[in-house]
Structure 1
Amino acid sequence: MNALNLKKGASSKSAYNLRDLADDTLETHTLAVLVDNESGVLARVIGLFAGRGYNIDSLTVAETDHTGHRSRITVVTTGTRSVIEQIKAQLGRLVPVHQVNDLTVEGPSVERELALIKVAGKGEKRVEALRTAEIFRASVVDSTLESFVFELTGTPEKIDALIDLMRPLGLVDVARTGVAAIARGL
């Protein structure tokens, strides 16, 4: 601090204003990471995020190449542009990682998530829950006299919307898979 109580670079008229204002905005990115399918790889990738204080919004993992023993890890994370670049660079340096794709910046992609949503209710609330689920094209995968379990596949925003509408109708529980994503086209 100086006599005027200004931080260095705080004034837009300062010759020392070196801050990049766009770098302060948080962005959500979907990263597709191709790795060797061997024990400990997921722990190393997760450890990279945990050790540096990066947050994981969604995580899915599955073997995609049985003959080549490769798995695909899809991570949705939020951070500033520089943090996202740092995450991609650090992931690329891990030995079992073969490829890191940022689906958010590489072009259009398809993202889907699966959710199981349990709603309990009787009478009019039960009927309204069925109507609401039908609007979202959710399937009934389990039914008792007191509850339904709906299955919904769609974007995370679509799933959030259905969950919000089911709360007043007797939402009991939600299980979500996390985002699976793939680039469109070739």
Structure 2
Amino acid sequence: MKKEIISVFVENKANVLTRIVSLFGRRGFNIDSLTVSATNDPSISRITVVFIGNDQSLSQILTQTRKLEVVKDIFTLEKESSLYRELLLMKVSADKKVRSAIKEIVDIYRGKIISLSKDSLIVELTGAPEKLDGFMDLMDCYEIIEVCRTGITGISRGPLSNTDSDD
């Protein structure tokens, strides 16, 4: 079993996301991360889904999802030929004594402190999921108040897919 990341281009219509997510649920797949975004074409949305599976389950979910009439294209975002990014917002308890130490960690990870109050700060960090995991591990020794992660979004480095010419 490994982490699978797929990209699904769908018609930008009501209830499309529900149909995609329901298909995963009916097949017994748990979605670890889900992002939806606009594309350069206003009639098409991009859904990035992360789940744990094997080659057989990946093949099954690709085949079943492809059959939905609202799906324009679907493909796997392979780690070797794709870029993944995620956004992290983290609120940390930070009095004057620990602020500089936290700022050093944030600077090393090329993050930003986007809000500061007397007793806390909010960090914004973008990057590969592994980078965010590493940052969270280092910040674990501080009092983390709240964390919000967007989930993975990705894009292939080369051509979109081999089905682009079918339309």
Is TM more than 0.5 here? yes
3-state DSSP of counterpart to 1:115? strand
Amino acid aligned to 1:89: T
Gaps of at least 5 residues in structure 1 are 1-25
Superposed displacement of residue 124, structure 1: 3.2
Larger RCO: Structure 1 or Structure 2 (Cα < 8 Å, ≥ 6 residues apart)? 2
Query: Do the aligned residues in 2 keep the contact of 1:128 with 1:169 (CA within 8 Å)?
Result: no
Aligned partner of 2:50 in structure 1 is: 76
> Which region of structure 1 is more displaced relative to structure 2, 35-44 or 52-61?
52-61
Amino acid aligned to 1:59: L
Q: How many residues align?
A: 159
1:36 equivalent among 11, 23, 28: 11
Amino acid aligned to 2:106: A
Aligned partner of 2:157 in structure 1 is: 184
Aligned-CA RMSD value: 1.4
Q: How does 1:36-185 map to 2 (within 5 A)?
A: 36-67=11-42, 69-104=43-78, 108-185=81-158
Q: Percent identity?
A: 38
The structure with the larger Rg is 1
Amino acid aligned to 2:72: H
Cα offsets for 1:125-174 (capped at 9, x unmatched): 22211111111011011111111101000011111111121121121111
CA distance in 2, matches of 1:65, 1:182: 13
TM-score (norm 2): 0.90
Gaps of at least 5 residues in structure 2 are 160-167
TM-score (norm 1): 0.81
CA distance in 2, matches of 1:70, 1:35: 6
CA distance in 1, matches of 2:50, 2:15: 20
CA distance in 1, matches of 2:123, 2:96: 18
Cα offsets for 1:9-56 (capped at 9, x unmatched): xxxxxxxxxxxxxxxxx0211101000000010000000111121011
